[in-house]
């Protein structure tokens, strides 16, 4: 739900402005109306200071820079040089040059070396290893195969250079490690600069009065803080007043949720916070995102893996930067996946409905077989979609009446009554043995009542013919749109089915490798199962995250009229 806000107005002497803003930071709950971007050179300098500090921290945490990478590249080149020189051994280059005859160096494959070459010229084999032959020729050289440039260094000289480079790298890495101790200082710079920037931007928006001797501020705080703030403001040398925030004020929005729903607030923020007089979609989103995710995963075994992974992340036993702070929600999604996977009858790609070791009472909880000739799980996905869209229409109707009034919302009410009422009557007709005459008159009454709002009174005061034309256009858009929206929920069935089939395919492949009498094949069987199911789990998680987002952000938000243009509650804090 959206927490109620109180709007505050403050009047104070201009000389008291900095002290007042510091006191607000200490209170930590008042959101002063700020500029959204730096407004002058002063605030720009503050932002540059913050960005530079963040850049320094990123470099220090990374533990390397361009110079270190260059040193490591040079070390790698020296290692390659040392290895290439090793077969030539140690020799005195000056003495070799003093022989008075040219010296030629050759490297060929051992199977390409011709022993007859030694009879044609002064040839000496230096080394033979790894299928290669290194040799030198003194004087005239009739051999053209494998001629290489004379080494400029010996292996020991290259090793000495490499040792020096290793020492240089170790010294520079020690310097970088010492610099990491500066991270807390840069973090303090960011914290102080952001606090100073917040005060500055808040102060820059203050209106001046009484020839510049007074400042006027406006801000918002949760209504639950009214008592504490009143005592604090009374103790300050200011004039202040408070009133309940109105939607027309466009106050910042702070969501207030229980422990379960709060896990999904980040998903709502991905789309956008509700405006102050809009409904908070997070409670419904939490339920349906969890359900959709579990249906897309569709495997109880994968649910257990997610539970374990979420627990390990939450406890700090598994550290993955992109999942920091997400351990609880991963575990919750895993719990939902486990129970939905049981209902769908899949455990690590195994069809547990067909397993003899599964008790009959548990099989009775599973959804299998056909409904009206269609797969029961596909019908379930479509049924969930219909319920989801009906709830969206109900919320749209409720908030349309709250915002625009009853008469201005007759068209929305008519469509909600027609669609939701039609679904309810259809469900009652299927599940209850009502006489066909009763069903017929219910349908007629529902259609007539809805038609009045859709075609006749969709905009009171307008020409009736114009209303009818507008109603026909709305009908075309609604019918085509709703049909596509409902069909979108088949993805819940398709993704769950695809993941289950892929998991079963890896199981079958592993069993084919095992054969009828497995012995040495077990390592390969385990490798296939592990790699296959890890890949399937990762792909399933990706689809199970993206597609439920679409179903909530597109199908639900569109049909509910949710805008998500609210301002984030951002109080001045230390």
Q: Among 37-46, 260-269, 301-310, 564-573, which is the least confidently predicted range? A: 37-46
Q: Do 435 and 507 belong to one domain?
A: no
Q: Do 397 and 470 belong to one domain?
A: yes
Q: Do 518 and 534 belong to one domain?
A: yes
In our burial notation (b when 16+ CB lie closer than 10 A, e otherwise), range 459-469 reads eeeeeeeebee
The last residue of a domain, from among 462, 488, 514: 488
Average pLDDT over residues 264-277: 89
Average pLDDT over residues 171-195: 77
Q: Do 400 and 337 belong to one domain?
A: no
Q: Do 466 and 531 belong to one domain?
A: no
Q: Do 423 and 442 belong to one domain?
A: yes
* 202 found inside a domain: no
Q: Do 274 and 356 belong to one domain?
A: yes
Using 50, 70 and 90 to split pLDDT, how confident is the model at 64? low
Q: Do 447 and 400 belong to one domain?
A: yes
Q: Are 238 and 258 in contact (CB under 8 A)?
A: no
Q: Give percent of the chain with pLDDT exceeding 90.
A: 16
Q: Do 323 and 408 belong to one domain?
A: no
* 10 found inside a domain: no
Q: Do 469 and 498 belong to one domain?
A: no
**For the residues of 8-43, what is the DSSP string, one character each?**
EEEEEEGGGHHHHHHHHHHH---EE---SS--SHHH
**For the residues of 151-198, what is the DSSP string, one character each?**
PSS-HHHHHHHHHHHHHHHHHHHHHHHHHGGGHHHHHHHHHHHHHHHH
pTM of the model: 0.68
Average pLDDT over residues 221-240: 86
Which of these, 292, 294, 475, lies nearest to 385 by C-alpha position?
Answer: 292
The parent domain of residue 298 ranges over 259-368+490-560
Q: Do 342 and 356 belong to one domain?
A: yes
Using 50, 70 and 90 to split pLDDT, how confident is the model at 201? low
Which of these, 412, 418, 441, lies nearest to 429 by C-alpha position?
Answer: 441
Q: Among 39-43, 263-267, 316-320, which is the least confidently predicted range? A: 39-43
Secondary structure of residue 103 in the 3-state scheme = strand
The last residue of a domain, from among 460, 488, 516: 488
* 24 found inside a domain: no
* 169 found inside a domain: no
* 386 found inside a domain: yes
Provide the pLDDT for residue 36: 43
Provide the pLDDT for residue 422: 80
* 31 found inside a domain: no
* 226 found inside a domain: no
Domain count, the chain: 3
Q: Do 351 and 430 belong to one domain?
A: no
Give the pair of three-digit tokens for residue 323: 């999942």
Torsion of CA 270, 275, 278, 281, to 10 degrees: 10
The last residue of a domain, from among 153, 171, 187: 153
Q: Which residue has the higher pLDDT, 199 or 139?
A: 139
* 501 found inside a domain: yes
Provide the pLDDT for residue 247: 85
* pLDDT tens-digit series, residues 430-469: 777 777 787 788 788 877 887 777 777 777 767 677 777 7
């Amino acid at each position: 739900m959206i927490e109620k806000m109180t709007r505050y107005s403050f009047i104070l002497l201009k000389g008291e402005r900095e002290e007042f803003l510091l006191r607000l930071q200490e209170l930590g709950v008042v959101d002063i109306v700020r500029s959204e971007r730096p407004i002058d050179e002063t605030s720009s300098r503050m932002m540059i200071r913050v960005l530079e500090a963040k850049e320094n921290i990123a470099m220090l945490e990374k533990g390397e820079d361009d110079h270190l990478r260059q040193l490591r590249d040079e070390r790698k080149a020296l290692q390659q040089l040392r290895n290439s020189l090793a077969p030539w051994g140690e020799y005195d280059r000056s003495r070799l040059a003093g022989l008075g005859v040219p010296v030629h160096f050759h490297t060929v494959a051992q199977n390409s070396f011709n022993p007859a070459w030694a009879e044609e010229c002064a040839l000496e084999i230096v080394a033979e290893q790894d299928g290669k032959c290194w040799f030198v020729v003194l004087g005239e050289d009739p051999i053209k195969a494998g001629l290489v440039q004379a080494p400029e260094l010996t292996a020991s000289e290259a090793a000495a250079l490499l040792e020096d480079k290793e020492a240089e790298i170790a010294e520079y890495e020690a310097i970088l490690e010492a610099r990491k101790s500066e991270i807390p200082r840069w973090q303090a710079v960011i914290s102080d600069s952001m606090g100073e920037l917040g005060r500055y931007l808040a102060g820059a928006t203050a209106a001046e009065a009484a020839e510049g001797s007074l400042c006027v501020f406006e801000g918002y705080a949760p209504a639950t803080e009214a008592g504490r703030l009143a005592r604090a403001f009374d103790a300050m040398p200011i004039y202040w007043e408070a009133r309940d925030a109105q939607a027309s004020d466009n106050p910042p929005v702070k969501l207030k949720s229980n422990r379960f729903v709060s896990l999904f607030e980040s998903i709502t923020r991905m789309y956008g916070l509700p405006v102050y007089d809009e409904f908070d979609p997070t409670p419904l989103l939490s339920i349906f995102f969890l359900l959709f995710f579990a249906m897309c995963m569709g495997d109880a075994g994968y649910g257990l893996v997610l539970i374990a992974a979420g627990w390990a992340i939450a406890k700090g036993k598994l550290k993955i930067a992109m999942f920091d702070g997400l351990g609880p929600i991963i575990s919750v999604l895993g719990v939902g996946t486990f129970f939905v996977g049981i209902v769908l009858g899949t455990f690590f790609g195994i069809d547990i409905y067909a397993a003899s070791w599964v008790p009959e009472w548990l099989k009775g909880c599973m959804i299998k077989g056909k409904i009206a000739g269609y797969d029961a799980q596909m019908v379930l996905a479509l049924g969930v979609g219909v319920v989801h869209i009906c709830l969206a229409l109900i919320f749209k109707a409720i908030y349309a009446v709250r915002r625009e009034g009853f008469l201005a919302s007759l068209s929305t009410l008519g469509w909600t009554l027609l669609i939701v009422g039609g679904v309810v009557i259809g469900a009652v007709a299927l599940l209850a043995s009502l006489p066909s005459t009763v069903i017929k008159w219910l349908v007629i009454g529902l259609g007539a009542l809805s038609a009045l709002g859709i075609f006749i009174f969709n905009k009171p005061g307008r020409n009736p013919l114009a209303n009818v034309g507008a109603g026909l256009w709305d009908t075309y858009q609604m019918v085509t749109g709703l049909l596509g929206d409902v069909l979108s929920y088949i993805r819940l069935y398709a993704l769950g089915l695809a993941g289950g089939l892929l998991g079963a395919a890896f199981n079958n492949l592993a069993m084919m490798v095992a054969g009828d009498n497995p012995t040495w094949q077990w390592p390969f069987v385990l490798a296939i199962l592990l790699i296959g199911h890890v890949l399937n789990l990762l792909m399933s998680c990706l689809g199970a995250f993206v597609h439920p987002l679409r179903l909530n952000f597109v199908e639900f938000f569109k049909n509910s009229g949710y805008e998500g243009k609210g301002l984030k509650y951002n109080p001045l804090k230390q």
